[in-house]
Chains A and B, each alone.
Chain A
């Protein structure tokens, strides 16, 4: 008999309302192995891992740790069973130092010296180089993730779960991370689960792969037996063209030659050079309230009918750029021009009035109002005014507009007067999309427009962006998902530390150079 697996999930089923996130899923994590869990956004990977860490209670199924059945109802219990997780989104307290963050949540007497030492020990043992006394607010995304990993490893877990760990990392930082994981597995016989939707990293970093689709396991193989096209087919459930496969699934190499080939065939909007841009930002500089530089002389132009992708590692100015175009960020210097007007940055509603539509990265924060009805949300920017007087609402008109948009954008809701919070995420995004596109905008800013959406919704949103561009809207796509940018954009600009450091069009696509630009290497070499 071989030893039982470090952790075993059996027949896990979890529903959210009518949606089955996990449907009778089996998974075994072995010691000394990195197990890749591959699937598209919404395939059920994260839910499955949340079941293992105790954040989600399954409707059915069983968990065994080292062969013993157990019930895990919160992360503290999971920790007792030796399970630790590094989450996709950081949960660090910025004003605190690295070691202070590492011991947060521990119920022990505070002993600074030993805590510091413990952090140093872990960072040495796993090659996670970091200064325990550094403040987290001063750290880059890559280093912050190291802190998260140290937090997780400090309890010496037997099972380590990483949820989409590379979404905020440069390719170089990702490689370092995988080297650390390999060390953890080989030296200490731990079991690692790596959740990802990126083919290339699963192929390079794992020993075994489980592929999930629509809540079920569709395939399992050893990494040595797997290849990119096969995995892609299993993930999507149908043969996919090489280009969209690469684009949708993060296999950048597949796209490389293909993109160049397509670029040479199709004429990249040649006449756009003669037209004037619908959006032009020049030398935009902005500082946060704490004095941090958010935008540092950022300049970019968007012409009518093109999709400009803003690529970059998260935290390099994408959010401030989106805020700027949502009238949420005033500038210290620099200007924004939209068609022939020059809206004042930061003044309420100025950008919307000038014709800038925005699909924000966090729709709950600046895209919709959860406590208002669907109809109200569809008419937030320019509510229909009554014939009785401009100060009055035209309530019947609002209902009519709402009914039309609900129909036109296929929004699933119990009615125009249903509260926004009763809609699913994909439908909330459709409401935002419907409102923004119905305003006949000159520019459409889409910030992470597909984050957290299911496959169907992603396709829908992507198609709507293309459609908007075809109708002459200038589309600015701000995304940290490089494949998404490569798939949709006619032209790509790279954002690094609040400025645009490089640009390339479809014909001149060079993924390697793109990666260097994103990590700031080009910048360093130039200065």
Chain B
């Protein structure tokens, strides 16, 4: 270009934080409005009443007795999974095997409490550690394959979900592994032994709403992740790796060490989520069951996407996703067809997922255009 390119602040003036924030907000509001409109149309076309449905959703998630406690209970594992996902996403890695990592974490936790032979609060710590280790191992397999054998982690993490289901399923068929060994039970269900009451997580009861104390652990971890990412050298280097791997390598960031660590940490968060679900009591009634994970892993991944990998934003996002889960439980009473309620739920998910995708594509385009203009 000409010497005019050196004129003060000529091009960088295009960037403004206020305008950026306003754009993001506008994109979200438009997106949600469109989704609600389409949802209303779908309901109306199938003979339902949009207002009744909305009211039922609100009842189910927050308004009715004890419901917001239930929503918080569901939000805890969603938030933990989302936090883990944020860590690997910052390192430029794609983990889509949360469901499996969560399940393996819960299974290892179950194995520990069914085999340790003692019970009591101190075992609780051990169970949670087992969950962390289980999730970390499961993600660690994908990590090892990624950095030793160059296998894409997108594939391995996903495929390991199905391996996990088979593996835990096998454990639940064998009484020396996970299956409840109680004899002379007719129609034996493939479930584990029930957690001893002395080994359960304390539950709080506020205004008739109950939720386990793990809620505060999850909130604290969100703050910790946010601080590690923004205030520590490790966090800085992790983000460098995600945004410019070659530059990071030159600056001394080992891809296998930081990337591998990010994936393992991500799995550990999922494993912890699984352990909390087990000892918290809201899932499986203190037992491991074949469908124990109930899509928390998949939906936690969506929470991270909606929060655009921001740990603090993940807190309200997790609550909203939990509210969609608990709220849809009340829809059946409105007479609206069950499948239609799923369509409505999916539309809202899309409305929240759309803006990050739109903003991502916009940022990419802008960066590419900037690169092209200036080479």
Question: What residues of chain A have their CB less than 8 Å away from a CB belonging to chain B?
Answer: 16-21, 42-44, 214-215, 326-328, 347-353, 358, 360, 364-372, 376, 380-381, 383, 385, 390-393, 395, 412-415, 418-419, 421-428, 452, 454-457
Contact = CB atoms under 8 A, between A and B. Distances in A.
A322 to B, nearest CB: 10
Given A412-B9, A414-B13, A454-B5, A348 B254 contact: yes
B6 A457 contact: yes
Contact of A348 (B230, B231, B243, B252): B252
B2 A370 contact: no
Interface in B247-263: 247-255
Given A366-B250, A381-B251, A381-B252, A424 B374 contact: yes
Interface string B356-371: 0000000100110011
A391 B238 CA distance: 13
Contacts of A392: 231-233
A391 B374 contact: no
A88 to B, nearest CB: 10
B262 to A, nearest CB: 15
B152 interface: no
Contacts of A214: 2-4
Contacts of B247: 365-369, 380
B366 A421 contact: yes
B240 interface: yes
Contact of B11 (A43, A350, A424): A424
Nearest to B20: A419
Contacts of B2: 19-21, 42-44, 214-215, 454
A452 B373 CA distance: 10
Given A42-B5, A348-B254, 11 more contacts: A21-B1, A214-B4, A347-B254, A349-B249, A349-B252, A390-B233, A391-B233, A393-B232, A421-B371, A454-B3, A456-B5
Contacts of A391: 232-234
B251 A380 contact: yes
A44 B247 CA distance: 31
Given A353-B252, A452-B374, A421 B13 contact: no
B15 interface: yes
B252 A352 contact: yes
Nearest to B235: A393
A42 B6 CA distance: 13
Contact of A393 (B3, B236, B240): B236
Interface string B167-210: 00000000000000000000000000000000000000000000
A415 B8 CA distance: 11
A398 to B, nearest CB: 9
List the 8 shortest-distance A-B pairs measured between CB atoms, nearest first. Answer: A349-B252, A425-B374, A18-B10, A369-B244, A414-B12, A366-B246, A348-B254, A214-B2
Contact of A412 (B6, B235, B363): B6
A215 B3 CA distance: 10
Contacts of B9: 412-414
A349 B2 CA distance: 36
B266 interface: no
A420 to B, nearest CB: 9
Contact of B249 (A43, A327, A457): A327
Given A391-B234, A414-B15, A418-B15, A328 B246 contact: yes
A19 B1 contact: yes
30 contacts: A17-B14, A18-B5, A21-B1, A327-B250, A328-B246, A328-B249, A348-B248, A349-B250, A349-B253, A352-B252, A364-B371, A365-B247, A366-B246, A366-B247, A369-B240, A369-B247, A372-B239, A391-B233, A391-B234, A392-B232, A393-B233, A393-B235, A413-B12, A414-B12, A419-B15, A422-B370, A423-B12, A425-B1, A426-B1, A426-B5
B4 A19 contact: yes
B18 to A, nearest CB: 13
A409 to B, nearest CB: 12
Between A347, A370, A381, A415, the greatest number of chain B beta carbons within 10 A of the residue's beta carbon is seen for A370
Given A20-B2, A425-B374, A348 B8 contact: no
Given A366-B246, A393-B231, A454 B252 contact: no
B250 A328 contact: yes
B4 A371 contact: no
Nearest to A17: B11
A475 B69 CA distance: 66
B375 interface: yes
A512 B249 CA distance: 40
